[in-house]
Amino acid sequence: MNWYEKLSKYFPIEEMKSKEHMELLLKEKADVYFKDESEEHVLMYAEFDHFLFIDYVYVAAKTRGQGIGGKLIDKLKKHGKPILLEVEPLQYEDSDSQKRLRFYEKQGFQHAQTIGYNRRSLATAEENPMEILYWAPNGETEEEIFDAMKDMYEQIHTYKDKQLYGESYQASDEVLTFSKDTEKDSIFNTLKENQK
């Protein structure tokens, strides 16, 4: 399987960019969008001046639990910038969802409790709410994380979307919301409560 097949077998269709979109990012935004791959993993990420964004990370099922994911995250942490990523809301019936969250918590990620993220999928036309996790090496605030997410959304997720998909994704102001007044419970606390 090539890198795109690995990702599309692992990630739900509503979260996947088209292969053309990702290849265009790798070619036309080669200064910020990168692919790191081996037989055991595929990591797609963007690096900007002030932050990194993990677009996709896949570790082959047969090698999970061998520390590959941790090594990939450690490599990114060495850049000394905040790292952002999107995860599906906690699904109690999905053990992968719980394992993924435990992994990121162990890696020192925090859940952005003041940031809302809900994007309509162009593939399914369904609403696709996600949670934002971040690693903040310099004590970055959630407001700074929110600004970084908007920047990433506009430069990566919606890059040439009309040309690629025949229609545009929603504007970042519709998809991302920031509110200090409506802080959500931490997804990690919910995970712990579920395990009791």
Q: 45-93: per-residue pLDDT in tens? A: 999 999 999 999 999 988 888 899 999 999 999 999 999 999 988 775 6
Sequential DSSP letters for 58-115: EE-GGGTTSSHHHHHHHHHHTT-S-EEEEEPPP-TT-HHHHHHHHHHHHTT-EE-TTE
> 117: closest CA among 163, 148, 155?
148
Domain range summary for the chain, segments of one domain joined by +: 3-195
SS3 sequence of 129-148: EEEEEEECCCCCCHHHHHHH
Q: What is the dihedral of CA 19, 20, 21, 26, to 10 degrees?
A: 90
Of 15, 16, 19, 39, residue with least CA distance to 27: 19
| Gap between the Cα atoms of 177 and 174, Å rounded | 7
CA 183 vs CA 23, 114, 139, 186: distances in Å: 37, 5, 18, 9
In sequence order, the β-bridge partners of residue 33 are 46
pLDDT digits 0-9 by tens, 158-188: 999 999 999 999 999 999 999 987 667 888 8
CATH homologous superfamily for the domain 3-195:
Gcn5-related N-acetyltransferase (GNAT) (3.40.630.30)
Collect all residues with Cβ–Cβ distance below 8 Å to 194 and sequence separation of at least 6.
Answer: 90, 92, 98
Average pLDDT, the chain: 92
Q: What is residue 29's predicted lDDT score, i.e. its pLDDT?
A: 98
> Which position has the token pair 């970084």?
148
pTM above 0.85, yes or no: yes
Joined together, the tokens standing for residue 194 give 């579920």
Kindly tell me if the per-residue pLDDT of 37 is higher than 80.
Answer: yes
